[in-house]
A and B are shown apart, each in its own frame.
Chain A
Amino acid sequence: MGAVEKPRTEVAAPASWDYAPSLEGREIVSLERRYGLYIGGKHISPKSRSWFTTISPSTEEPLAEIAQAGQKDVALAVGAAREAFRTWSRRKPAERAKVLFRIARVLQERARELAVAESLDGGKPIKESRDVDLPLAAAHFFYYAGWADKLEYAFPGRSPKPLGVAAQIVPWNFPLLMLAWKIAPALACGNTVVLKPAETTPLTALLFADVCRQAEVPPGVVNIITGDGSTGAYLVREKGIDKVAFTGSTEVGKAIQRELAGRDVSLTLELGGKAANIVFDDCALDQAVEGIVNGIYFNQGHVCCAGSRLLVQESIHDQLVRKLKRRMATLRVGNPLDKNTDVGAINSSAQLERISELVQSGIDEGAELYQPPCRLPEKGWWFAPTVFTNVAQSHRIAREEIFGPVLSVLTFRTPDEAVEKANNTMYGLSAGVWTEKGSRILWMADRLRSGVVWGNTFNRFDPSSPFGGYKESGFGREGGRHGLEPYLRFE
C-alpha cells in the first residue's frame, strides 16, 4: 500500500488541557425585581417598609430586592401559621402526606431552575446544587411525606400530636436543602411553619413559596420571612411559637437557647463543628484523599460537618500530604455556573474576612500554608483551597470553626491518641475514619464523640439517616424516624 502520512494541521498539544467553560444557562431562572414576605399564602410588602438587596457572591451583581421583616411582620407570619394550624393539624394525615409528595415532585420538576438560583445566590458550584442540594431536598420531602400518616408506628405505645407553630431558621450554606430538612418533618407531623432563610441566600426559599403554590399547600401552613439576624431574634421572641429549630453558628444557638429559657418552647439546634478526619496507615490511600478533599472543599468548606481537622497517622503523613497537594492542584475554582467548577465563591465578604483572618492566624502561629496555583476571578469573593501542615492542637486553626476551604493537618501515632485528639474539642458533630481494618472502624466509631461517624467515606447525607451533634454542636436529630420526634408531643 505504501501510503505516506500526509502533512496535516496539527491540533496543538496544550501545556494544559483547559476544559472550555461549560456554563449552565441562567435564563432558566426568572427573578422578580422585588420579593415581599410570603405570609398566609400571599406575597406582601413588609410593614417595616425596609428592603435589602441580595447579591451574587461570584459577581457582586445585585439579584433582587428582599423584604426586611420587622417585629410586626414576624407577628403577622406567626399569626398566619397559628391560624392555619387549626385546620392543617386536623387534616387527614394521608392528605397531608399527599401535599408533601406534591412538593417533592414539583422540586424535581423545577430542579434545574432551583439549582441555578441556588448557585447564583449562594456561590456554590452548579454541580453540587444540581447533584446534591436539589436531589436531596426533593428526597427529604418524599421521605417525610410517607411518615405523615404512619406516625403511630414510629412511636409505638405513645400518642403523637403536632406541637403547633414551628419557627425555623436556616443558614446560607445549603439554603434550600436546610429548608427541606426543616419544613418536611414539621409539616408531616401536622405543624405549620414560619421559616427564615439566611440574609445572604433568601432566593430559593422565596422560589419555594411558588413551589408551595403549585403543590397547593394551604395558605399559612408555610410562611417565609426574610431579613437579617434581627428578624430571627423577633421570631424566637414571638409568643405564639411552640417550637424553634435552628441551624447555624454555635454562638447564635446559645443565644437562642438562653432566650427560650423558662419558656415551654421545644428546641433543636444544629450548630458548628470541627470534625476530625482520621486517616490510618492501612487505609485505601487514594480514596482517603478523595474523602479528605470532599470533606473540606465540598461547598467551599461552608459545611458545619466539614472534615476540617485532618488527623494522619505519622507513618504516612508525608506520602498522604504529597498526594493531597497533587489532588488539590486539580480543583477548579471559579464561576459557580460552570459545570466543571469544583470550588465556587465564598458566600459573603464577611465570611471571606473571617476565613482570611483565621488563615492569617495560622501563618502567624507557625503552621505551614499551601495553596495550589489557581487564578481567582477579579470580582466576587474567593478563597483558594488551602491546607496547613505542621499544625499544633493548640493553634486557632485547629480549634475554631473556619467554615471555609481550609484544612489543618495534624498527626497521631496510635488509635488511642487519634481518639483523644479527635474528641479534644467543644464540638461533636461529625468525624471520619479511614482504615481497612473492620474492627478498628467500629472501635473508633464507638469512641468518637460525634453525632455522625463516616467510616471510609465523608459528607454523605440521606433523608433516612439521622444527623445532628453532640456537645456544643447542638441537640436533636434531623432525618430518619428520629427526625420526627422534635416536631411532636406525646399524650
Chain B
Amino acid sequence: MSQTVALPRAFELPGGGRLPRLGSVDAVSLEGRAAELAKRSIKRESKIFALDLAIRMIDLTTLEGADTPGKVRALSAKAIRPDPGDANVPSVAAVCVYPTLVAVARRALAGSMVKVASVATAFPSGQAPLDVKLADVRAAVEAGADEIDMVIDRGAFLSGRIGEVYDEVVAVKEACGGAHLKVILETGELGSYDAVRRASLVAIAGGADFIKTSTGKVSPAATLPVALCMIEAIRDVYDETGLVVGMKTAGGIRAAKQAIQYLCVLHETLGVEWLTPDRFRFGASSLLNDLLLQLRKQRTGIYRSPDEFTLD
C-alpha cells in the first residue's frame, strides 16, 4: 500500500499540528467540479448579498510601472467610496500598491477602514537575493502597509528546493511583524494542480495568513479550478488542525458573474464562515465597476450604463 509522501517534520504547523497529507489532485474531476459550481444560479436577495460582499472583499489594485501618487490617491478615493451615488455601497477591503506608494495610500486612506496592502519580495518574479526581498518587506511595513503580498520563489519550487521556499516564507513572515502576510503562488507557472496543492501547503506551513493565486502579471492567472484546489488545501488544514487561512484570487476577474462563481466555490467548499473579507479577497481593479453596475441593476431593476460609474 502506498502512502503519499509526507512533508518533512519541518513543515509542522505552529502549535504542533501536522499538515494534512500532501495528497494529489485529479485535474479532470477538479475542473468538472469547478464547472458545476460555476453553474449555480444566484438570484435576487442572495445576489445582492453576493455583490455587496464581493465589493467588501476587493483589494483594489494598481501595479503598473506608470503608477503615480495621483493615480493612487484616485484609487484610494474610489476604495473608500466606490459609488458616490449610493451611500449604501460599502468600501472595499484594501488598496494594493507597490512599496514606494504605500505612504501615499496610507495618507489617502487615513480615517477609513480600508487597509493598505503592498506587494513585496521582488514582485512579480521573486528573483532577488533573500536580503533584498526582506528589505523590500520591511520598507513596505515601515511605510505603513497593513498587509504584505509576497511571491514565492517559483525557480526554487520548480527545481525541487521546496525547503528554500518554506524558509523564505518563514523569514518574510518574521519581517512582516504585525502585518498580514499573503503568499502568492503564481499558479500559472507551477504547471499542475498537484504542484498548486503542494505550494499551498508549504506556504501555509511557513506562516501565510492568506494564500493567493497570482501576481496578475502571468497568464493564466486565477482560474476557478485553481482556486478550488487551493481552497481545498485550506479546508484540509482547517479540518486537521483548526488553523484558519484566508484565500485571495487575483488576475483576470473582471465580471461580477465571475466573482459570484468564486463565492459559490468558496461557500460550498469552506462554508459560510469564509464569506468575509477577513478570509477571502479579490485582487482586482475593473471588477469593482461591474459589481457596482450589477448591484445598481439589482436594486433598481433597470439595466445600467458603464458611464454611470467612475473610471479611476
Taking Cβ atoms with an 8 Å cutoff, the residues of A that contact B are 1-6, 8-9, 11, 13-22, 127, 131, 280-287, 290-291, 313, 315, 322-323, 326, 330, 339-340, 414, 436-437, 456-457
Contact = CB atoms under 8 A, between A and B. Distances in A.
A284 B30 CA distance: 10
Given A17-B267, A17-B272, A8 B25 contact: no
B40 A340 contact: yes
B268 interface: yes
B290 interface: no
Interface string B1-23: 11110000000000000000101
A11 B41 contact: no
Contact of A290 (B21, B29, B40, B43): B29
A124 to B, nearest CB: 16
B239 interface: yes
B24 A21 contact: no
B76 A1 contact: yes
Contact of A3 (B41, B43, B81, B90): B81
Contact of A4 (B44, B88, B111): B111
A285 B23 contact: yes
B125 to A, nearest CB: 31
A436 B24 contact: yes
11 contacts: A1-B108, A3-B81, A3-B112, A5-B113, A8-B87, A17-B263, A19-B43, A282-B3, A284-B24, A322-B239, A340-B41
A280 B28 CA distance: 18
B1 A315 contact: yes
Interface in B27-63: 28-30, 32-33, 39-50, 52-53
Interface residues of B, number: 53
A281 B107 CA distance: 54
B68 interface: no
A40 B45 CA distance: 52
B26 A20 contact: no
Contact of A11 (B52, B112, B263): B52
B49 A17 contact: yes
B46 A330 contact: no
B26 A284 contact: yes
A286 B23 CA distance: 9
B195 to A, nearest CB: 14
Nearest to B91: A5
Given A17-B275, A18-B46, A20-B45, 18 more contacts: A1-B77, A1-B80, A1-B108, A3-B77, A8-B89, A8-B90, A13-B276, A14-B49, A17-B263, A280-B1, A282-B3, A284-B23, A284-B24, A284-B25, A286-B30, A291-B29, A436-B4, A457-B29
Contact of B41 (A16, A282, A283, A339): A339
Contact of B73 (A1, A16, A291, A339): A1
Contacts of B107: 1
B44 A20 contact: yes
A20 B81 contact: no
Contacts of B43: 19-22
B291 to A, nearest CB: 13
Nearest to B43: A20
